[in-house]
Amino acid sequence: MWPRPRGGGSAPRWWPQTPGAGAAYWLRLALATPPPRSDWLGAAVPASRGRFAMAAPLRLRSALALVTGCGVFSLGWGFWSHGKARGARPWALRRRRPLGPCLKSLVCRRRATPAPHPLVTLCPRRACSLPSFPLAGAGSGIGRAVSVRLAREGATVAACDLDAAAAQETVRLLRGPGSAERAALGAHAAFQTDVSETGAAKHLLEQVQASFSRPPSVVVSSAGITRDEFLLHMSEDGWDKVLAVNLKGTFLVTQAAAQALVSSGCHGSIINISSIVGKVGNLTQTNYAASKAGVIGLTQAVALELGRHGIRCNCVLPGFIVTPLTQKVPQKVQDKVIRMVPMGRMGIPEDVADVVAFLASEDSGYITGASVEVTGGLFM
Q: How far apart are CA 120 and CA 159, in angstroms?
A: 10
Using alpha carbons, select from 207, 242, 252 the residue that is nearest to residue 325.
242
Q: What is the 3-state secondary structure (H, E, C) of 156-177?
A: CEEEEECCHHHHHHHHHHHCCC
Catalytic residue among 287, 288, 303, 314: 288
| Catalytic residue list contains 25 | no
Q: How far apart are CA 233 and CA 118, in angstroms?
A: 46
Are residues 299 and 272 in contact, defined by beta-carbon separation less than 8 angstroms?
yes
- DSSP H or E run through 273: strand 268-273
What Cα–Cα distance (Å) separates residue 357 from each residue in 201, 250, 256?
22, 19, 21
Q: What is the DSSP annotation of 180-216?
A: GGGGGG---EEEE--TTSTTHHHHHHHHHHHHHSS--
Q: What is the DSSP annotation of 90-151?
A: -GGGSPPPPHHHHHHHHHHHHHHSPPPPB-BEES--B-SSS--EEEETTTSHHHHHHHHHHH
* Active site (catalytic) residues: 288
